Structure 1
Amino acid sequence: MLDPIRIMWIRQIKEYWRSKPRVIASIAQPTIFLMALGFGLGPVFQQAGGEDYVQSLTPGILGMALLFGSVFNGVSLLWDKQFGFLKESLVAPVPRISLLIGRSIGGATTAVFQGIVLIPVSYLIGFRLDSLLFIPLIILFMFLISFLFSLLGISMGAKLDDPEAFPLIINLVIVPIFFLSGALFPINNLPDAVTTIAKLNPLTYGVDGLRGTMIDGSDFGIVTDIGILLGITLVLLIISSHLFEKLET
């Protein structure tokens, strides 16, 4: 089972690096968000007597980069359907779940790379980590977020057949996930109904975990964040595996 996982993992990474515009865009987009919002809204928050917005914003933009970078992993599944590579993979005498896990790990790895690049960029606009000792935990949260949403992208890719429709549909899903995660603003001051919805959002716990490890700003607790992310990932892995098994060869 390990060989198919390794093969799919390497293939996903090679596919990412083969497209230079994709690499540049995946790093440039969160950097632009971070600089625009950090420089634009940071002074406003300080004048209003609030906390350092750049410190609070950076983990949220990092979560955004991981979300967008991993969930669009599903579009590669659609192109594999179009060009027949998926059929060749599915007829191979290996468990399909190993192909699923390999794809997800590959998508998560490239998303984590984007996140790692974003951290030193954030230093240029004034962000500072509370402690370098938490870097392993930061990377753990980055991987958990990326793996979870890579599974989500693959699950949606397994149900769709049109690569051009995928970005439109996935945006309808991930944009609310992003804005209701507390990435740009705290969820505690929102109306009760919206706060309840936000607490059902898996990215909320990812962003909270990043804040807890990067600036000691967790609302739910790091252990709680890890537990919820692992639980949701397990459920999504079961669902994704079922959808993957139903793909026709």
Structure 2
Amino acid sequence: MSAAETPNVSAKTYQVSDGIGASWMLARREWTRFFRQRNRVTAAIAQPLLFWLLFGTGLKGSFSGAGELDFMQFFLPGTIALIVLFTAIFATISVIEDRREGFMQAVLVAPVGRWPVLVGKVVGGSAIAWVQAIVFLALVYAFGTAALSWTVLPLLLLLALMAVAMCSLGMIVAWPMDSTQGFHAIMMLGLMPMWLLAGTFFPIPSLDARASVGQWVLGSIMRANPLSYSMVEMRRLLYPAIDFAAYGFAPSPMICWVVTIAMAFVTTTLAWWLMRGNRKVDVIV
């Protein structure tokens, strides 16, 4: 390598290391803001827990799922997913707040590029969602709602992938937005139906000759929802003794993992493409 090329290489190395430091700073800032806002800590766990207890207790006697699961057990994966979803909403809405306060503009003019913003926001928000889900999961195992087994390890990895996918999806919505009210409206319009149509609140209907037209439409939409595959695998990992394939829609673990990884990759890539291509949002206040 010639002497003329050495400064370029060292400059590039400096930018990469500086970008990693900027990402870490943004992720750490998300953690600091989260724990300083105690209402977020309480709401992110208390609201899904309240839903789980109310719906689980109220519908426990009128529902029988795969392997004789009651509704509280069936609704458990949906509650965990709801924790991740709420955290993604609260974590990514800070993008709009940072832009209004001028912090985001200061970050964007830094020489490290735009990828630290995405990495810092997604890693910070995903880590918060992941830890909250673990806290709730520990309570579930402590009270015996699900039996603790070796499947907890792949379950933690699955939750991390889901957290990354949801936070990246939140970044896709938040980046071009200039209104927190509009952000909440879009997130509720998109994420809540996505959560409901993932087999969280009711089983995915089977598509056979006895199914009605409405069941075919609903079942097809739920099968096209990538979150449905994450929910199937989460339910399988929580209750490994049950063969869910014998009771309805339950793709193989390989398919569920591939779809979950693809969902995290696609949402993160789209968020990165949007941040690089949409320069108009840099001046939104």
> Do both share a fold (TM > 0.5)?
yes
2:95 — aligned with what?
77
Of 220-229 and 78-87, deviating more is 220-229
2:235 — aligned with what?
211
State yes or no: 1:239 paired with 2:280: no
**Any conservation in 2 of the 1:38–1:54 contact (CA below 8 Å)?**
yes
Distance 2:176 2:252 in 1: 35
State yes or no: 1:52 paired with 2:75: no
Distance 1:23 1:87 in 2: 28
Distance 2:269 2:124 in 1: 18
Q: Which has the higher contact order (CA 8 A, sep 6+)?
A: 1
Which string of whole-angstrom CA distances, capped at 9 and with x for unpartnered residues, describes residues 207-228 of structure 1?
1121121113551232222211
Distance 1:221 1:236 in 2: 23
Q: 1:172 aligns with which of 185, 189, 205?
A: 189
State yes or no: 1:181 paired with 2:212: no
Per the TM alignment, residue 50 of structure 1 is displaced from its structure 2 partner at its CA by 4.7
**Any conservation in 2 of the 1:67–1:145 contact (CA below 8 Å)?**
no
Per the TM alignment, residue 113 of structure 1 is displaced from its structure 2 partner at its CA by 1.7
Q: Which structure has the greater CA radius of gyration?
A: 2
Per the TM alignment, residue 132 of structure 1 is displaced from its structure 2 partner at its CA by 2.4
Per the TM alignment, residue 85 of structure 1 is displaced from its structure 2 partner at its CA by 0.5
Aligned letter for 1:71? Answer: I
Unaligned runs of 5+ in 1: none
State yes or no: 1:224 paired with 2:255: yes
1:201 — aligned with what?
225
Structure 1 outlier segments of 4+, above 6 Å? none
1:133 — aligned with what?
150
**Any conservation in 2 of the 1:34–1:122 contact (CA below 8 Å)?**
no
* Secondary structure in 1 matching 2:145: coil
State yes or no: 1:89 paired with 2:107: yes
State yes or no: 1:21 paired with 2:21: no
Aligned letter for 1:157? Answer: A
Unaligned runs of 5+ in 2: 1-18, 208-214, 245-249
Of 108-117 and 144-153, deviating more is 108-117
Aligned letter for 2:165? Answer: L
Give the paired residue count. 247
Q: CA RMSD in A?
A: 2.1
Distance 1:231 1:45 in 2: 33
Pairing 1:124-163 to 2, within 5 Å after superposition? 127-129=145-147, 131-163=148-180
Identity, in percent, stands at 26
